[in-house]
Homo-oligomer: A and B are copies of this chain.
Amino acid sequence: MTLIDGKAIAQEVRHEIRAEVAEWVAAGHEAPGLATVLVGDDPASAVYVGGKQKACAEVGMRGFDHRLAADTSEDEVKRLLHQLNEDPAVSGILLQLPPPPHIDGPKLTEEIAPGKDVDGLTPISTGLLHKNLPGLRPCTPLGCMELLKRHDVDLQGAEAVVVGRSDLVGKPISALLLQANATVTTAHSRTKDLAEVCRRADVLVAAVGVTHLIKGDWVKEGAVVIDVGMNRLDGKLTGDVEFEAASERARLITPVPGGVGPMTIAMLLRNTLQAAKAAAAA
């Protein structure tokens, strides 16, 4: 078994992006800019936003860190988003979710211009993904694909099983695997014999958010296992897969933490750069 070192791969990607940004700027372009919008003072959200802004700065991108009071009205947030849509210095916009309860986060996200939707979560970005048209894809699914790519996992005709069907991870990763020519099964809480379904997977992606739902003996000998789960168990971060038992059978497996997690911000940076280049070409 080989461990998929998401931390190291994310670092590699970030180095590449830094070089690409430097090249872009050297060619006379403005540095790409990422605007983050945080409403309220949820401490976890503040940490996430801080991490994204820091990552931005490290690769030479500009950051626009908008923090609004918890009682900001939906209309005010909408106005800010429209302003950022119009601002040529802003390549990508990210509305940190969840906002305070009086604000409909997913609905507000739809106000972000498709070309700046670096989270890739609006209906139009979702449509472009499923129709395989150019557009911005969600970051965590992109991160999973990048891990597979860096390990040269052959997806052509591979049996891929995705457990979970969230808009954020399960469904988009199924779409990306399908585009990579895998035969893709999407399984979920209503799946009748989840063990059997998992056992046929050459590539098994777990994205349900239930600690150790996927048992070690559900992993086919020689399979590749991507664990997107981020669950708390006795104060420790754990995945959806019984890691110890699964590693005895898997050929490649992501640990939690240090697997998929670090890839999300790396892919956000890549999306921001892609958005900047697409805007310049338009």
State the A residues within 8 Å of B (CB).
Answer: 122-133, 156-159, 165, 167, 171, 174-175, 178, 181, 183-188, 190-192, 197
Are B186 and A191 closer than 8 Å at their CB atoms?
no
CB neighbours (8 Å) of A158 from chain B are 192
CB neighbours (8 Å) of A183 from chain B are 185-188, 190-192, 197
9 A–B pairs (Cβ distance < 8 Å), ordered by A? A130-B175, A157-B192, A174-B186, A181-B188, A181-B190, A183-B185, A183-B187, A184-B185, A185-B186
From B159, B186, B192, A178 is in contact (CB under 8 Å) with B186
CB neighbours (8 Å) of A178 from chain B are 165, 171, 186, 188
CB neighbours (8 Å) of A125 from chain B are 127
What separation, in Å, do the CA atoms of A253 and B153 have in the docked complex? 38
Known: A126-B127, A183-B187, A183-B192; 8 extra A-B contacts, CB below 8 A, are A126-B126, A126-B131, A129-B130, A156-B190, A174-B186, A181-B190, A183-B186, A183-B188
Quick one: copies of this chain in the complex?
2
CB neighbours (8 Å) of A186 from chain B are 174, 178, 183-185
CB neighbours (8 Å) of A157 from chain B are 190-192
Are A130 and B171 closer than 8 Å at their CB atoms?
yes
CB neighbours (8 Å) of A184 from chain B are 185-186
Q: What is the interface of chain A mostly: helix, strand, loop, or mixed? A: mixed
CB neighbours (8 Å) of A175 from chain B are 130
What separation, in Å, do the CA atoms of A187 and B178 have in the docked complex? 9
A202 → chain B, closest Cβ, in Å?
9
CB neighbours (8 Å) of A188 from chain B are 178, 181, 183
Which partner residue on chain B sits nearest A172 by CB separation?
B130
CB neighbours (8 Å) of A197 from chain B are 183
A110 → chain B, closest Cβ, in Å?
10
Which partner residue on chain B sits nearest A107 by CB separation?
B133
A190 → chain B, closest Cβ, in Å?
4
Which of A125, A127, A157 counts the most chain B CB atoms within 10 A? A127
Are B167 and A131 closer than 8 Å at their CB atoms?
yes
CB neighbours (8 Å) of A185 from chain B are 183-186
What separation, in Å, do the CA atoms of A182 and B152 have in the docked complex? 31
* A156-B190, A197-B183 known; A133+B127 contact, CB < 8 A: no
CB neighbours (8 Å) of A156 from chain B are 190
What separation, in Å, do the CA atoms of A183 and B123 have in the docked complex? 23
A180 → chain B, closest Cβ, in Å?
10
What separation, in Å, do the CA atoms of A279 and B85 have in the docked complex? 28
CB neighbours (8 Å) of A165 from chain B are 178
Which of A122, A130, A156 counts the most chain B CB atoms within 10 A? A130
What separation, in Å, do the CA atoms of A63 and B197 have in the docked complex? 48
What separation, in Å, do the CA atoms of A181 and B165 have in the docked complex? 10
